[in-house]
């Protein structure tokens, strides 16, 4: 991390840390009026699942953010503001997490899931805008060109895949959440591993 971008990444780390910490505030201790403790704890399972999913998602976003900044040699005003735009999306995550947990068994389940999945559509778009600016504005470290190209290939699938996930909400809420988890796993894998896995298949296809 260069001294020119160190403050940006330090500030970003703080936002990620606060967002991931706020998630636990939605996991409440059951009250006595809710009945037996064991039953009340089991009834809150959507809250636990939503917490674990969003904790993982924010953690994966932090990993990807760190990967991006490992490729940057300098910053500019565009990078500063686009990074803030991405952090705006990250800081919103605790809200849709609480929403899907509260309404999973309520009439507003589909709308809550749409807000949850829609949030990640916007974050995927923000990630792409930030990365495209880094690439097109000459902010990349030339020594990282090969791995940067792998990131570009991986990010192409982001917004479209999350839009499909968002549309799937109106077909099946559980299926949309499962797809969201699958996408998180996809983006957790280092881009170069995707490229290395594709290379043998391409060589086989040409034989």
Residue 205: pLDDT over 50: no
pLDDT at 193: 54
| pLDDT (average), residues 17-30 | 86
What pLDDT, on a 0 to 100 scale, did the predictor assign at position 88?
Answer: 95
User: What b-and-e string marks burial along 56-68, b requiring 16 or more CB atoms within 10 Å of the CB?
Assistant: ebbebbbebbebb
Q: List, for residues 84-116, the tens digit of each pLDDT value.
A: 999 999 999 989 988 988 888 888 999 999 999
Instruction: For residue range 170-185, list pLDDT tens digits in order.
Output: 999 999 989 988 888 8
3-state secondary structure the chain: CCHHHHHHHHHHHHHHHHHHHHHHHHCCCCCHHHCCHHHHHHHCHHHHHHHHHHHHHHHHHHHHHHHHHCCECCCCHHHHHHHHHHHHHHHHCHHHHHHHHHHCCCCCHHHHHHHHHHHHHHHHHHHHHHHHHHHHCCCECHHHHHHHHHHHHHHCHHHHHHHHHHHHCCCCHHHHHHHHHHHHHHHHCCHHHHHHHHHHHHHHHHC
């Amino acid at each position: 991390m260069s001294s020119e971008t160190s403050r940006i990444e330090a500030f970003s780390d703080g936002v990620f840390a606060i967002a991931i910490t706020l998630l636990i505030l939605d996991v409440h201790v059951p009250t006595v009026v809710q009945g037996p403790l064991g039953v009340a704890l089991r009834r809150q399972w959507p809250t636990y699942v939503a917490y674990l999913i969003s904790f993982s998602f924010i953690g994966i976003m932090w990993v990807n953010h760190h990967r991006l900044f490992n490729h940057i040699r300098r910053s500019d005003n565009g990078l500063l503001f686009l990074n803030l735009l991405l952090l705006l999306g990250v800081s919103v995550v605790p809200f849709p997490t609480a929403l899907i947990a509260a309404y999973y068994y309520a009439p507003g389940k589909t709308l809550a899931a749409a807000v949850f999945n829609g949030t990640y559509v916007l974050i995927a778009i923000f990630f792409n805008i930030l990365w495209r600016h880094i690439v097109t504005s000459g902010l990349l470290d030339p020594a990282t060109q090969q791995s940067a190209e792998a990131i570009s290939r991986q990010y192409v699938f982001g917004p479209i895949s999350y839009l499909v996930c968002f549309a799937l909400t109106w077909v099946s809420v559980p299926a949309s959440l499962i797809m969201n988890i699958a996408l998180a796993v996809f983006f957790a894998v280092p881009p170069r591993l995707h490229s290395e896995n594709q290379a043998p298949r391409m060589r086989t296809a040409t034989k």
